[in-house]
Amino acid sequence: MESRRQIFTMMGAALAAAGAGSAQAALPDEVRDSGAAESLKHPFGEQQVYFQGPTDQLKFFEGGNLRLTAGMQPHAPHQHPEEEIMLVTEGSGEISVEGKITKVSPGSMMYCAANKLHGVLADKSEDLLFYYFKWDKR
């Protein structure tokens, strides 16, 4: 059996590690153009992540865009703990929310609550560009 000292040492290390993640600084107040965004190339398209991290009021926030290649989807419909908004700015396709499929084009906007099944698919004839914003306040 481990001594109390060893147990307290392990508990202290675990609490310190847990606190390290929560000490991350909030996102800065600034304007970023596409040159400042993190660019990611995927088999299904090109993504730019402008902001990612905690804010003064949110545990997590992410804002960016995805140029989805014609006929592609980034992944099968999925769910995650963050709420999400998507705004289509170019192209056309389909967005599904909880099994309901809606045709989308520039100006279409999706809101999806946390842990709800959703997905996006670009039409076969053209790329689909959308901006997304995800957040978790917990």
Q: What per-residue confidence (pLDDT) applies to 130? A: 98
Q: What per-residue confidence (pLDDT) applies to 29? A: 95
Q: What is the mean pLDDT of residues 5-20?
A: 44
Task: Tell which wins on pLDDT, 17 or 22.
Answer: 22
The CATH number assigned to the domain with range 24-136 reads 2.60.120.10
Taking the domains of the chain in order of start, what are their residue ranges? 24-136
> Residue 19: pLDDT above 50?
no
> Residue 10: pLDDT above 80?
no
Contact (Cβ atoms closer than 8 angstroms) between residue 116 and residue 79: yes
Residue type, 112: C
- Per-residue pLDDT tens over the stretch 22-47: 567 899 999 999 999 999 999 999 99
CA distance 10 to 22: 19
- Per-residue pLDDT tens over the stretch 76-120: 999 999 999 999 999 999 999 999 999 999 999 999 999 999 999
Model pTM score: 0.81
> Residue 6: pLDDT above 80?
no
Q: What per-residue confidence (pLDDT) applies to 77? A: 96
* Strand order from edge to edge, sheet including 100-104: 100-104, 93-97, 118-122
